[in-house]
Structures are given as structure tokens and as C-alpha cells.
Amino acid sequence: MTPMEFKARQVTAKKRQEARSHLSVFNMGNVPARMLLNEDAFASMLYLERRRAERAQNHFVLVLVDIRKIVEGKQRERMIRGLTWALTEATRETDIIGWYLENDLMGVIGTALNGASKKIIEARFYSKLCHSFAAALGIERSSSIKISFHFFPEDYHDREYNLSVNMALYPEINKRDNANRVSQAVKRCIDVIGSGAALVLLSPLFAAIALGIKITSKGPILFKQKRLGQGGKSITVLKFRSMRTDCDAKIHKQYVEKFIAGQTEGANEKGSKPLFKIQNDPRITPIGHFIRKTSLDELPQFWNVLRGDMSLVGPRPAIAYEFRAYKQWHRRRVLEIKPGITGLWQVEGRSRIRFDEMVRLDLKYARIWSIWLDLKILLRTPAAVFSGDGAQ
């Protein structure tokens, strides 16, 4: 053997050893060795699987295995080896296994479900996992393991009020928020100071608008509407009433559904500027046209900001029927960050952009968010409001 051949064999052996060191699942003789991903790698794979599902309109299941009650003490390492072997036995080669929460929660991403019903998938997974855990650890120990199932995408059609997102499917968001605690605290301070100051300084304007509404139409001064906060949590948003009290929301619901689908007038014409809001809405009162044109109808939302339901800067808060009409990737605008009074799409396009473009701007804001970006948007907002372009 020449020195060059000997060196080549050493390099090959070293690479094999390094590859084996990353495998947490032992080869038991009849099962190919598979990688048990660490927490960060598993979260990344879950993120990528969500993106694949969104594009291909597929679905998958995230199975979480809570092992906290059985991995304590001196036998911890042996228990983990048994558990990883059991996961390998119970899952397919195409499934992804790893740590959802290091040493506490193990996870399985069940891919390529081929349209099977959730009940059947859950029953099959549960049966296989229980059998494998009992074989590896014994019936008594395995009975302490808790197994939960989380399907993506979530089905909201049968949920009238609770549209909150299952955060178990989005572990990277919790990691991001934990890493940005200081910045988030600064953002909250700006929200409190800014909204508090606005409520005090603009109180004469509040009184003038309230008087105008009361004189020109019958009904309450404020309009309360259920909308979706961050993560789909229900919040009550306040606005100055700009419509008659006998209005039916059906006309807006139908318009919004068409707008989201790109079917509104001008939405597919080159150079056109489709509006997110209905033009010449017959439901609007005389003063309503003015306060909507100038966005003064949204001033009471400073109270929502002070309460913590909204932020000064963020995506526009969605309505429940609007959310149900979203494509899967649209829903991320509700998930990623707290809604706000103004945002990136308001200062760059206001209502005169297509819905997909609006969502992309919201997602861009969530992705590149910083305190400095918030300040720039706040400084640009007055010019966007006074221009009135796209506001109705």
C-alpha cells in the first residue's frame, strides 16, 4: 500500500466515524441507522416541511412524545437509546425523527400521508408507537409516555370563534421571541408611550369626531369588531363608526373573498390598482367618507395598543371570515407578529395593492423587523395618511 493510498483510507475512515457520531439511533441489526436530529435541526426540518406542504397543498402530522417521566436518574442514557430505537421501529424511513425539546420531548414528522383521514393516521401511529415503546422499555415504563398529534394545515372551517393557531407547529417563533426579549420589551415601551400620548394629545379631535358622528347619524359613536390578534387570538378592535347601524356584513365578506382570490375588478388587469376596501360603499355615512379617507376612524385603536392587543406597527388585524378565505401561506401574516395600526404595506401601497403583495409585505416586515424599522414606518405614516391614496 502506497503512502497516498494509506492516507486516503485514513480520511475515509475518519469521515465514516464522524458520520456515525451524529447518529443517535443505533442499528439493531434489522433497522437501517437513522439520524435523531438535535433540537435546532428538527425545528428547521419542521419549518421546511410546512413550506413544502403550503406549496404542494399537502398535509403532515407532528407527533410529540413526552418522555420527561421516564428519563430521570442513572438509566437516562439507556432509556433514550431504547426510545430512539423504538421510534425507528415504529416510523417509516421517510418520516423525520428528532428532539423537539432536548431531553424532554421527542418528535416525529409524519410526511406523505396520501390523503388518509386524521383519525386513521392518529390511530395507526399511536398503535405502532405504543407497541414499540412497550417492546423497548416494558409496559409499565412505556405507560408513562404521553403522545400528542398536531396536524398541518389546521382545519378552521368547523371552528366558529376559536381560530387560535397551534403553536406546537411553529417552535421557531418561540425561539425567535425568546432571543429578542430585549427588543420586544423596547417595542412594548414605545407602544405604551406612543399610544398613551396619542390618546391624551388627540382628545380634542376625538371629541370633534364623536360629535360629528352623533349629529349626522343614529347609533353609537364607536364600532366594535371581533378581529384576530397574534396567533389567531380573538380581540375586540375599536373604530369610530363610519357606517349605518343597519348594515349587513355580507357585502364586505363577499368582496373580501373575491379580493383575496384575485377576482375583484382590475385585479388581473395590467397597470390596475385593485382596492382592498370597497369603493363607493353605500353603507357609509356622510362623515364616514371623510374619517375613512383620512384614516381618522382608526384613532380609537390607540386604546387597543395601550391594552396590548395591538402594536403601533404591524399587520392589519384580520377578520375571522377573511382568515377562513386565506390560502395556507396567507395565514402566516396572523401568526408571525402582533397586528398594528400602521405597517409596511400601509406606507408602501395602502389599499392599492393586490392581496398577495400585501401579505408578502407583512411577512417581510416580520422577517426583517427591528426597532429602527418601526420608527421609519411611523415617520412615513403621516405622509401616507395625508395623501389619502388608496384609503376609502
* Highest CATH level, class, for 18-153: alpha beta
| 144 and 137 Cβ atoms separated by less than 8 Å | no
* In the block, residue with C-alpha cell 399587520: 315
Q: What is the Cα–Cα distance from 241 to 259, expressed in whole angstroms?
A: 23
Q: For the chain, give the number of residues.
A: 392
Contact 318, 334 (CB under 8 A): yes
* Residue range(s) occupied by CATH 3.30.70.270 in the chain: 18-153
How many other CB atoms are found less than 10 A from the CB of residue 323? 18
pTM for the model stands at: 0.78
Residue type, 322: E
The tens place of each residue's pLDDT in the chain, 392 residues long, gives: 554 444 445 544 444 444 343 444 444 455 456 788 999 999 999 999 999 988 888 889 999 999 988 877 667 788 888 899 999 999 988 899 999 999 899 999 998 777 778 899 999 999 999 999 999 888 888 888 999 999 998 887 666 666 888 899 999 888 888 888 899 999 999 999 999 999 999 999 999 999 999 998 888 999 999 999 988 899 999 999 988 877 767 777 888 888 887 776 544 444 444 445 555 566 788 888 888 888 899 999 999 999 999 999 999 999 888 888 888 888 888 888 899 999 988 888 655 678 888 899 999 999 899 999 999 999 999 887 776 554 54
Question: Are the C-beta atoms of 89 and 132 separated by less than 8 Å?
Answer: yes
Grid cell at residue 31 = 433497522
Query: How far, in Å, are 87, 187, 206, 270, 298 from residue 198 at the CA level?
Result: 56, 16, 10, 40, 12
